[in-house]
Each structure stands twice: as C-alpha cells, then as structure tokens.
Amino acid sequence: MSKAPLFEKISVKGTLFPIEVSMKRLHLSHPYTCNGQEFSSLPMYDTSGLHGDCRTQVDPHVGLPPLRSSWNFPRTVQLGVAQTQMHYARKGVITPEMEYVAIRENQQLEEWIRSFNRHGKKVEPITPEFVRQEIAAGRAIIPANLKHPELEPMIIGRHFRVKINSNIGNSAMGSSIEEEVEKAVWSCRWGADTVMDLSTGANIHQTREWILRNSPVPIGTVPVYQALEKAGGKAENLTWELYRDTLIEQAEQGVDYFTIHAGILQEHLPYAERRLTGIVSRGGSIMATWCRHHQQENFLYTHFNDICEILKSYDIAVSLGDALRPGSILDANDEAQFGELKVLGELTKQAWQHEVQVMIEGPGHVPLNLIEENMQKELELCYEAPFYTLGPLITDIAAGYDHINSAIGGALLASLGCSMLCYVTPKEHLGLPDRNDVREGVIAHKVAAHGADIARGNPTAWLRDTLMSQARYSFAWEDQFNLSLDPEKTRAVHSQSIAASGYSAPNPDFCTMCGPDFCSMKRTQKMGKGN
C-alpha cells in the first residue's frame, strides 16, 4: 500500500458560486490535540497555484488555465463603467472573489477558529459578507483585473492575514524574460501573495505578458517605468497621453494593481531637497524631475480622475505610491513624507468616489521608535485604507542583510495593523536579486508576517505554532520540518548536523545543539514519566 504524500493539493468548493479554492494539506506523522480537537493533518494557505502541484506540469509558453472564466459572474470591460469589487460591495452584492477569499482565509479550520480564545478574545470565521463589508468601507481590497483570469483571488486588509509582496523585474544591466518568469513562479512557491514586475530593461511588455499568464497571484507594476522607456529614458519627455496609453496597454494585459506616484507635488520638493538622501523612490524621482523641468504640477495628480476612469473599467486597484518615502533613518517621519501622505489620503477619497480599490504605500527607512507613528498617521490621514510598506528598514548599515533589517521593522508595523509587507532581499542597495535572493527575502518576510498574525490573534497562525511546539517536544522531526516556513532548508540543516556528529540514527530524540545528555525537553519528559 503506497504511503500518502506529506503535502497534497486540495480544493474547497464554494456554496454561493461554482468556485474551487486551492489549498494544500499537510499530513502529520501522528495526531496532535489542541483545545480538545485532534489534528492528523493541517490545511494550509497556499500561493503556489498549479505550479505547486506535483501532478501538473505547467508549460510557461502556454501559461495557467483561466480559472475565473468559468465562474458564473460575467463582467466585461466597458470604459468608464465601474466593474470593481468596491462597486459591487457597496451595492450589497457578494462576488465570487469575495467568497473565494473568505474560504481561503479560514483554511477549512472554522471549528478551530470558533474554539480559539486567547486572553478572553473570541474570534469568528471570516464570511463572504464580512469580506463585502470591509471592501465597501475601503479597509480591504481584492486586486483582480478582469483580464487576469488565471489569478486565484486574495485579500489585503488589516482584519485578514498579513500578506507579502515579492519584487522582480529585469534591468538594463541584465536578466532575461525566462529568468523573470522563473523568479515570479519561485516567489509564489515560497509564499509571496503578490508579485510586482518592476522591469526597467528591454522587452518590458513581453516580460510582463509571460509573467501574467503564469501567475496565480496578483501582479502589480509601476507604469511610469515603461512610459519612461517610451520617452527615451528622459523624464522631461513624459506626457499624460503617453502615460495614459501605457496604463491602458498594461490594463489590457491583466495587471491587477498599479503603483501611481500621484501624491508628490511641487510644494513638497523643497522639503525633499533638504534631506540627507533626497528622493529614493525611482517613480518619485521621475515625477519630481518632470515637475521641476516643466514648472508644472505632477500630471498624475492633475489627471487622477482620468486614471480612475481607466482603473474602474478593469477592476484594477491603485497602490498610491510613496514617492517621498525616507531612504535613511535621519529622513524618517519628516515634512516631505507626511506632507505627501496627506495628499494620498485626499486621493484615496477621490478614488473611492470612482469605486476604485485603494491601498497606501509606506516607508522606507524608519527607526523602531518612529514606526508606530507611521501606522497612526496612515489610519488617520488615509481613512483606514490598507497600508502596504517596504519594510520599514530599521537601520541604514545592514547591507547584505537588509532582508533581516526589513523583516524586523515589518513585523512591528504589521503587528500594529499594516496589511502587506513588500519584501527586501539580501541584494537590496547592492544589486539585482537572483532566485536564491528571492527565496531568502520571501521567507524572511513570511516570518515577519506570521509573527504579526500571531500578535494580532489570528487563530490559524496560532494553530500552526502550537502544532510545531508539540512536534518539537515529541521529537517528531518530519512534522517540525514540514510545519516550518522552509521545509527543505530545515530538513537539510538538521540532516547535515546529525551526519557531521557521526550519530547513526537519522532522527534521534535530541539535536546537536544539546546532544543526548543536555536536552531540556527530553529531561522534562522523563520527569513527567516519574523517572
């Protein structure tokens, strides 16, 4: 009789729509009991799509099947007609995407969620109606372009799991289309909830097309990068018409959210010029250059209503870019940063008038003692729209280890309510990341996001940690490996250390840190048995 795989892909059917929500199930080596419930397996949130299914081979030249095309909720692009999740949410309509993300967030653990009680706080499973309410209020978004049917819907908001984003993309200095597609798929495998294609080199359109057709997660872009390429690399040659055409081109391909630096205004530039590191956002520096050269207001700001007309037609979310994020801790929380944040709040209300979904981008380099103010200001000035931040990095001297630097700041900010963390890799400030850097960056920020979920009282996060602790206490090594965020690495590290010690048994009831005579858990177990 063949042994069941430790991980298997499963799908959970919806009750309102003909949807099947993809997850993975971990089969444990033996049952564990938590809160009186027995767990012989654990359903897990999974971002890998069909790429993570060993039974399926995805041809990158063909791409993924159009999952959402078969759902009984037809929507077609009509320019100027709102087709957004917010539009339907405000009308009281639950969409297939809303039911999908509710099922996905619960992970088939409704009974556990209802039984969970930490410090007297009771929690209820997430319902499609709750999702609808959060989207209607602007506190959450489901980025899902009508033209990206391959996407498996996910939700970004502070009442849901903390999400992470992986940045990929070529540059003029290197990387090919195939490499960037591989990085996108690799990101999804290790747990990235969204991917941003920040390509600035050759073949931007083709690279993005391949990534979209192979991506089960939302794809974001910064459209001004491609617009700049069309303008010959000269910011002063940019025009609204060129930018608008680029927006429509990317919308037609299926991009799910755009970072748009519409909040940097001429009045902010003198503040930025007094900074230690000036403007460190690529998009921000492009628009600042345009404003200074033409002595005119940022055309992304003056044409923001026109932008929203395009976005609402495709159901593309806007990620309001922080062009003035601090690039050094000395510049954190200054007049430039918070002046722009106030404008982003005004643009949020403007987008909501068009029923466009919004999230707010945040810093940047911020010392630990100033992080909380960023969350408070964002909630106050941007009306509780989801906060999406780069880190923040808590020091300027961690080159080579900025993924750790960013994860520390990100964990704190997410515990306070940040909705999504943009990963940073070990190559930050140093070079273009390769696939191993992507893996390191994703895992570091998964640690941060999971830690924040625990702090926020997410029952599914608490369950995974509880099972891990039980597995650790009982020396169930395979369960420990598989419950970790990187089973391959944990298994390899353990095996190598045991082999190096010369011990013959593959999984003894100790590790090489303490050895057989100094293991505290082994000794405690003997005490409990009366030995």
Ordered alpha helix ranges (H), 79-147: 85-90, 96-106, 110-115, 128-136
Report CA Rg, the chain. 24
Start-end ranges of CATH 3.20.20.540 in the chain?
A: 160-456
Establish whether 521 is an annotated binding residue.
no
Only one residue has tokens 């073949």, namely 203
Residue 79: exposure state from Cβ atoms within 10 A (0-12, 13-18, ≥19): exposed
Is 167 one of the annotated binding-site residues?
Answer: yes
List the one residue out of 68, 86, 56 whose CA is nearest residue 316. Answer: 86
Class of domain 160-456: alpha beta
Q: Is 426 helix (H, G, I), strand (E, B) or coil?
A: coil
What pLDDT score was predicted for residue 507? 62
Kindly list the distances between the CA atom of residue 430 and the CA atoms of 366, 398, 400, 424, 425, in Å, as whole numbers in the listed order: 19, 11, 8, 12, 10
Geometric angle at alpha carbon 69, from 63 and 71, rounded to 5°: 135
**Residue 145 in marked binding region:** no
**How long is the chain?**
531
Binding residue per annotation — 365? yes
Q: Binding residue per annotation — 325?
A: yes
Was 514 annotated as part of a binding site? yes
Cβ atoms of 511 and 497 closer than 8 Å: yes
Q: Which amino acid is at 154?
A: M
How far apart CA 74 and CA 152 sit, in angstroms, is 17
Which pLDDT does position 1 carry in this prediction? 36
**Known binder of ligand: residue 323?**
yes
Residue 225 annotated as lining a ligand binding site: yes
Residue type, 416: L
Flag whether 431 is marked binding. Answer: no
C-alpha dist (Å) from residue 212 to 230, 371, 378, 497: 21, 34, 31, 41
Per-residue pLDDT of the chain (531 residues; tens, 9 = 90+): 344 568 999 999 999 999 999 999 999 999 999 989 999 999 999 999 999 988 888 898 899 999 999 897 878 898 889 999 999 999 999 999 999 999 999 999 999 999 998 777 889 999 999 999 999 999 999 999 999 999 999 999 999 999 999 998 876 665 678 888 898 999 999 999 999 998 887 788 998 999 999 999 999 999 999 999 999 999 999 999 999 999 999 999 999 999 999 999 999 999 999 999 999 999 999 999 999 999 999 999 999 999 999 999 999 999 999 999 999 999 999 999 999 999 999 999 999 999 999 999 999 999 999 999 999 999 999 999 999 999 999 999 999 999 999 999 999 999 999 999 999 999 999 988 888 999 999 999 999 999 999 999 999 999 999 999 999 998 899 999 999 999 999 999 888 887 777 776 666 677 777 776 777 777 777 776 654
Tell whether residue 429 is among the known ligand binding residues. Answer: yes
The CA distance from 350 to 356, in Å, is 9
Which tokens in the block code for residue 280? 């460190």
Please give the single-letter amino acid code of residue 429: H
On whether the CB atoms of residues 189 and 53 are closer than 8 A, the answer is: no
Is 322 annotated as ligand-binding? yes
Sequential DSSP letters for 251-266: HHHT--EEEE-----G
- pLDDT at residue 2 in the model: 41
Residue 441 to residue 139: CA distance in whole angstroms? 27
Q: What is the pLDDT of residue 70?
A: 86
Three-state DSSP class for 279?
coil
102 is in an annotated binding site: no
In three-state secondary structure terms, 219 is strand
Listed residue (146, 154, 180) closest to 166, CA to CA: 180
Contact in structure between 348 and 305 (CB atoms under 8 Å): no
| Amino acid occupying residue 40 | S
Cβ atoms of residues 482 and 41 within 8 Å: no
9: number of CA atoms within 13 Å, CB side? 14
3-state secondary structure 140-202: EECCCCCCCCCCCCCCEECCCCCEEEEEECCECCECCHHHHHHHHHHHHHHCCCEEEECCCCC
205 a known binding residue? no
196 is in an annotated binding site: yes
